[in-house]
Structure formats: C-alpha cells, structure tokens
Amino acid sequence: METSDENLVNLAQSGDAAAFSALISRHYDLMHRIGYRILGSQTEAQDMTQDLCIALGAKIASFRGDAKFTTWLYRVAINAARDRLRKRTTRQKAQENWGAYEVNSRAADAENRAQLDWLQQAMQTLPDDLRETVALVLGEDMTHAAAAEALNIPQGTVSWRMSEVKKHLRAQAQSEELIK
Amino acid sequence: MNELEKLQSLLRDTPAPNADAKAAALRAATENFARFQEQGAQARPIPEAPAKGSLWKGLADMFNRSTLRPALYASTCLVIAGVAYTSYQPWSETLPELQDAGRATQLAAAPEESLQKPPQAPPTLAPKPAPQKQAAAQSAAAPLAHSQESDSIAPHQKQKTYSALGAMAGLDAPSGDTITHPLQGNADQFTGASENPLKITAQDPVSTFSIDVDTASYAYVRASLLNGGPLNPDAIRIEEMINYFTYDYPAPSDPDQPFSTQISVTKTPWNPETQLVQIGIQGMKPAIENRPPLNLVFLIDTSGSMQSANKLPLLTQSFALMLGELRPTDQVAIVTYAGSAGTALPPTNASETATILGALDRLNASGSTAGQAGLRQAYALADQMTQDGDISRVLLATDGDFNVGINNPDQMKSFIESQRDSGTYLSVLGFGRGNYRDDIMQSLAQNGNGTAAYIDTLAEAQKVLVDQLSGALFPIANDVKIQVEFNPAEVAEYRLIGYETRTLNREDFNNDTVDAGEIGAGHQVTALYEITPVGSPAILNDPLRYTEQAASNSNDELGYFKLRYKKPGAAASQLVTTPIRTNGDLPDAGFAAAIAGFGQVLKHAAYIKNWSYDDAITLATANKGPDPFGYRAEAIRLMKLAKIRD
C-alpha cells in the first residue's frame, strides 16, 4: 500500500528527507501540468517547477493539514505560476508567451497544428484568472468546489468564471467564422 | 464537440515533463531540503562519523560535472583520498578541521557551560561505527519501505563534513548531506491530564500535591521545538518546565532541616487582578566529600528500537561522561534487556574504567523489549550490591517502548511499587523520539522513588548526569508532599499551575503509606498558585445565595503551607508549616512566572487569556539574571522559536 500524502508530509515536516523526496517526485507532474497550462511553455513550466520543488523544502513546514495536501499544492503551484507571469509582464513579454508553445512530435500533421493554434489562441486571450480556473477545472478535471478550495475563492466565482470562459471561446469561434 | 470540451481534450494532452529536467529538479529539491533542515535544527551536538555512502555519491557528482578541468580533477582526487581516510576514523581522531567544525556547531547550540567543559569523551568512547553504518545502509536500501515496520526512529542527523572538505579543496562542494533514519508518524505517548481547574476557596480550601523534580518535559519540548516537529500538548508539564531551571533560593540554615522553604506573592503577569504565590523549596547540599558509596546499576534497553544514533550511542556516551565523576569505592553494574534480560557487567569498582567502558561499548541494539525482566534483574543486582550505608540506584535508560511482558503503565506501576520497599532508588532516563512512552516513564519514576529526565543531547546528559550528579543520586528527603490551605477571607479563588499528574487526595497528606516525590541533594522545587483575592474583579464565580459566606477573620494570612517529608530510610514523616503572607518577594519570581506563562501559552491553556509569546519573552528577558550556564537564554530562544512556529 502506498504511504498517504499526509503521512509523507508529516515525516517530511519532522525532517525526513526520503519522505520529502518521495512526496516531490510523486507530485512533480502535477506541478508541471499547472505550470504548463498557465504559462503555456514547457521550458517555463520546467523552470517554475524546479524553483517550486526547491522552495518546497522550506515551504512544506507551513502546510498545516487543514486542506488536502494536493489542494494546498495546487494553490502553491498556481501562486508560483502567477508570480512568474507577473515577472514576465514587467519584461514586456506578456502576450508572446502562450505562443512559445513547444511543438510535440505528434504536432507534425496539419490537423494537429491547427488544433494547437486554436489552443494557443484560446489560452492566450484568456485573462489570467480565467486561465488558472481553466487549468484546474478542465485540465485537472476538478469539481467547481475543489477548484474553489484550491484557488481560495467562493465556488460561485469558479462557476461564473467558467461561464465567462465559455463566452470567450464562443467569441473566438465567431471571429474565426468571420475570418473564414 | 463544443468549445469547452475541445479545450478540455486539448489541455489534457499536455506534453509529459522532460525526464532529465524532472530528475534535476528532484535532486535540487532534496539537496535544498537537507540544507534547510540543517539550518533549522543545529542543536544536536552528537558527534558522528561521516556517512560513507552519501559522500561517495557527492564525490561522484563532482566528477560528473562536464566543466571539470584537469587541475580541478587532480585536486578532487586529493580530497577523495582524504575522505577515504576520514570516513573510517572515529570522530575523535578525524582531521582537526573536521573536529573543530563539529565542535563549533556544538558550542553554538549548547549552553555556555559546555564552553568551559566541552563534553569531550575519551577516545575509547567514540560511537561504534556499526549501528551507524547499519542505519545508513538501511536508509539507502529502502528509504521508505521501512517506515511502517521499523521502530528505529530518530530525527534526522546532520553531517557537517562537506563544508570543511570544500574549504580544504577550495571547491564549491555540495553542501551538507543527510543520513536519514526511517521515521514513522510520531507515536510518542503521554499521560494526558487536563489543566488543574480553578477552585473556590470557600468550597474547597485545601490543595494537596506531591513534589516533582523531574525535568523530562522541558527537554522533550525543547527537542520538539528545535526539530520543528509536532508537539503534543500532553507532553508539556508546566511544573517540569519550571523546575528545569535553578532559582536563587537561600540554602537551608537549620542543619536538621533537609530543606528551606520560601514563599513569595507577586502580581500575576497575565492577569493584573490576580496574584501569583510562588513556593520555593531548596534542598541542602550535603558535604559531597563524605558521601556514602554509591551502587549504580545501569539498566539499559538494548531492544531494536534503541538503535538510532540519538538513543543507544548517545546513552553509552552519557554514561561514560558520568563515570568520570564516580569514586573508586563506588560500584557499577550493567544489566541489559531486549528479548531477554542479561547481566552485561557484573558489579565492578568504578575505578576499573576500562572494563566498564568496554562493556558499554559492546552493547548492541536488537530484538523486542522485555522491560519487566530487566527491572527485576536490576533490582536483584542492586540488592546484592548494597552494604550498610550504601545508596543504591537503578538507572534505567530506555525509549520506554516495553513490548514484552508488562507493557501497561498501571501494571508497571504495581510491579515497581513492590520493588520500591527494597530501598533502591530509580532514575529514568528517556531517549529518542517517535515511539517515546512518556506515560510509562512517568509511571516508573513516580512510583519507584525516582526521577525522570529526558536526554536529547550530550549537553543535556552533562546537565543531568554530571553537574547534577549529587542531586540526581543522593536523596535527602522522601515522600515530600505539600498541602496548602487557603484563607477564604483573603482568597476567593485559586488554582495550582502544573502538577496535574501529581495531585493527591486531601487525606493522603497525613497518610505516610502514600508515596510521593523525592528531593535529592541540592534539588529545587518550585510551585506556583494563581490566587484571586477577595473583592478582585477577576473572580470568575458568583457568590452563592444559599450558602453561608466565609468567616471574615482576616489576619493578613493568605493561607497556610504544610509540608511533609521522610528522612531517607525513615518510616514516619515530619511536618513543616508556615503561613503564607502577602509580604516577601523572591528575587527570582519573574523568571518562574515567565516559564509558567510560556508553558501555558504553548499548551493553549484556558486561564492565560491573551498573554502571548512576546509577553513571555519580555518577562523572561527582564528576569534573566546572571544565567551562568545559559539555560535561561536557551529558554528565551525557545520562546522565540515557538512564536514563529505557532
């Protein structure tokens, strides 16, 4: 049986390096996914995740167990991504980024490329708060309640944001129609 | 497919993270974690041999760096040669640089006292490499798989070696590596007792309790705060925290009285409307030159749970420290118990240090814990060693995890009570964390004419076993009980701070067959009452309509203090009485109040209201006094740590 996150956190908080390593390696992908979906670039997601992994060595002490560990980790990862976005804004690169999207091998064919363009367009035009919400609700398949907990906002706000996202996508679809 | 579903399916198709990047991040995170832990808990002056495995790994990493130039390569080879040499040496013989680095850490953390007398063990006392290698091998082989079964538990241990090596080679060597011991969820167990309630003087004017000179709770709390681990409120016994410190009480002037009693009344720091009655008892210090010979039976738990570095190795070092203080006429025997009990060293004169150290060195931890068999054998041996006028004491060193035979505190209590009449005293020394059975330790010490201390560092061993050797080993009064009767005309309400596990029934005070605490030579005991004077706005209970009001024969006496004790060996008790008056101010009242307040804040106690760590820090700092050994300064550091943590 796998040791629970909560057990590992307890051990890590009392100084067990092995438990800490296990915890980080178990959740590396989660942090990376969040980073990628909010930042839109795999290199950036990688850097962010590495910084976050390092910071967690100190940060883990502040986890008090009043939420699930993963909920807490989502929150921490979103904050890290947010910080990164903010820094990028100061470097005047805000809009370019969901553009530096790594093209996977599977993206070779034209259809895939079109889809990626669409994804890029969609994510890039979303305001930051909507993008974070999308990363959790659609990307992680979280319920509105769970996403609300991770984002530390009321559940109603999550639902409202998702309806905003829908409007956004519809607007995008309409403008595509016009171009065609 | 609508847009939302389309977005979802595309988002799900996230590229997998790059494996190399992931590995690099994990490595960096783990290294940083180790470094952070090292900064967080430096107070662990346990000298240890470097961990071989992790050093090699670090060196291998150095080689794998692509930027390594030939010159650098050559100098690294030198370092490797150095490491190959040092990693097999006992700590006391390592390179001077390494030793100095180790000592610097030790001094930074330990109270000043160790500056004067660094706890330097003779070379033969070097920790045996065997258990450490084993521990390192264990953690390397199966870092986590262990957590469930293994009961060898310890907070992480630090290695300070890298920085010294890096300095030698002029290299930016990977900083501090860690040996980790498998650690499971904290399973330390404590006797829970809720805070002493507020009593109404008119209804219940008499408070009776047994004295308590134990200090285990403070050391345990300190270890918890320093490690940043969870702290069980039941682990905090305020009287033990107060009694950890020495206060400026005058020595007894009457040679027939084994101790003097001082009582002061001051304002309560956390409530201006109440007063704090501080009762200070100072035991006499008999001339140590003519002390009777001592018979010491070291009863050492060598079960598997004692394997980690802060248990058996620390224990053997602690006992070795103490050997230096014994006289040639004293006798030492060692009984070990694990799956079964056995005599590791028959009664030996303390002058034969080599024999004793050899026996200590051969101790090895394995198996389950048959504590009862060990206790029986130790008492039998002590009995056999005792001659007329000798003082015999069993020193039990354990993590309290008795899992064979009696393992229930109540049964243990009745067993130890049957042994108590032999006249042999018992000292309980607690080691380790993770499955520390504080409840059993307390039960043993309280019922076996003994004291309990918790040893987390060599510095603490020095305090308990060397500096306080006389107090720890020579009782001057047995079954010391205190009874205070408050005057309802002056005191409306009162409560005893701490001593929750030591309360006695009112009638027990005059019953000489009821056991109570012992006072050793030079020991001090401090008890605090918070009292609410009649007419104070702080009274919490309304007067009753149908009950007679208290007689108003005010005579300036807040209460009447009574104390009973037996001289060692005597069966009948003697009575000491003194009235408690509003005058009198002990010079050291402030610091005891600060510690009492700190303990209550830490415990989230009910009566402390809005008093905070900051208030405790201010009060303790103002009342630090000369503090020759640095214990009080250490307490203030702990308060600051607790403040950050909460």
Question: Within chain B, what is the greatest distance between any pair of CA atoms?
Answer: 98
Give me the numbers of helices (H) and strands (E) for chain B, helices first please: 20, 18
**Closest chain B C-alpha to A69 CA, distance in angstroms:** 16
Contact A46 B18 (CB under 8 A): yes
Distance separating alpha carbons of residues B615 and B218, to the nearest angstrom: 19
| All residues at 6 or more sequence positions from B609 whose CB lies less than 8 Å from its CB, including other chains | B270, B271
Residue with tokens 């214990």: B631
Among A20, A42, A135, beta carbon nearest to B33: A20
Q: Which of A25, A49, A119 sits opposite B10 (nearest CB)?
A: A119
Q: Which residue of A has its CA nearest to B16?
A: A29
A50/B25 Cβ within 8 A: yes
**Are residues B29 and A115, on separate chains, in Cβ contact within 8 Å?**
no
Most confident of B37-51, B388-402, B623-637: B623-637
Mutate to test the interface with B, among A14, A29, A165 (most CBs of B within 10 A): A14
Q: Distance between CA B439 and CA B437 in Å, rounded?
A: 5
ipTM over 0.90: no
CA dihedral A89, A92, A94, A95 (to 10 degrees): 160
Residue A117 neighbours by CB distance under 10 Å: 13
Quick check: B190 pLDDT over 90?
Answer: no
Range with the lowest mean pLDDT among B94-108, B180-194, B579-593?
B94-108
Token pair for residue B56? 């090699």
Cα A71 from Cα A152, distance rounded (Å): 10
CB neighbourhood size of B172 (10 A)? 8
**Contact yes or no for B21 and A50 at CB 8 A:** yes
Cβ A82 vs Cβ A39: under 8 Å: no
Q: Do A15 and B228 touch (CB under 8 A)?
A: yes
Q: Which residue has the tokens 């068999």?
A: B373
Rg (CA), chain A: 18
Three-class SS of residue B1?
coil
Rounded to an integer, what distance in angstroms lies between the CA atom of residue B464 and that of residue B471?
9
Q: Between the CA of residue B82 and those of B47, B54, B74, B99, B169, what are the distances in Å?
A: 19, 15, 13, 14, 10
For A42, the closest of B15, B148, B184 (CB atoms) is: B15
**Are the Cβ atoms of B4 and A36 closer than 8 angstroms?**
no
Tokens of B226: 């320093």
Q: Which tokens belong to B234? A: 């039941």
Q: Is the pLDDT of residue B150 over 50?
A: no
pLDDT tens profile B73-92: 455 444 444 444 444 444 43
Average pLDDT over residues B278-297: 81
Partner-chain residue, chosen from A7, A46, A169, that has the shortest CB–CB distance to B21 = A46
User: pLDDT-derived band of residue B588, with 50, 70 and 90 as boundaries?
Assistant: confident
Q: Is B84 on the interface with A (CB under 8 A)?
A: no
Does residue B475 carry a pLDDT above 70?
Answer: yes
In chain B, the percentage of residues whose pLDDT exceeds 70 is 68
pLDDT over 80 (residue B607): yes
The conformation of residue B507, written as its DSSP 8-state character, comes to: G
Q: Which residues contact A114 (CB under 8 A, 6 or more apart)?
A: none
Contact criterion met (CB < 8 Å) for A18 and B15: no
For the segment B171-189, the average pLDDT, to the nearest whole number, is 41
The minimum CA-CA distance between B131 and chain A, rounded to whole Å, is 19
Over the stretch A84-121, which tens digit does the pLDDT of each residue have? 888 776 544 444 545 444 444 444 556 677 777 788 77
Question: Residue written as tokens 């990164």?
Answer: A84
CB pairs under 8 A between A and B: 151
Nearest to B479 by CA among B411, B439, B527, B420: B420
Mutate to test the interface with A, among B30, B33, B139 (most CBs of A within 10 A): B33
pLDDT for position B368: 58
* CB within 8 Å: A53 and B183: no
**Nearest-CB residue to B26 (from A21, A45, A139):** A21
Is the pLDDT at B258 greater than 70? The verdict is yes
Tokens 């001077």, located at residue: B96
AA identity, residue B47: P
Does the distance separating the beta carbons of A54 and B29 come in below 8 Å? yes
Residue A56 contacts B where some CB pair is shorter than 8 Å: yes
Averaged pLDDT score across all residues of chain B: 72
Say yes or no for a CB contact (<8 Å) between A18 and B180.
yes
pLDDT of B183 > 90? The answer is no
The count of residues in chain A is 180
CA A42 to CA A63: how far, in whole Å? Answer: 27
pLDDT at residue B593 greater than cutoff 80: yes
**Which region among A109-123, A150-164, B148-162 has the lowest average model confidence (pLDDT)?**
B148-162
pLDDT of residue B140: 40
Task: Give A107's contacts in chain B (Cβ within 8 Å).
Answer: none
Distance CA B213, CA B471 (A): 10
Q: Which residues contact B405 (CB under 8 A, 6 or more apart)?
A: B370, B371, B372, B373
Chain B residues closer than 8 Å to A42 by CB: 15, 17-18
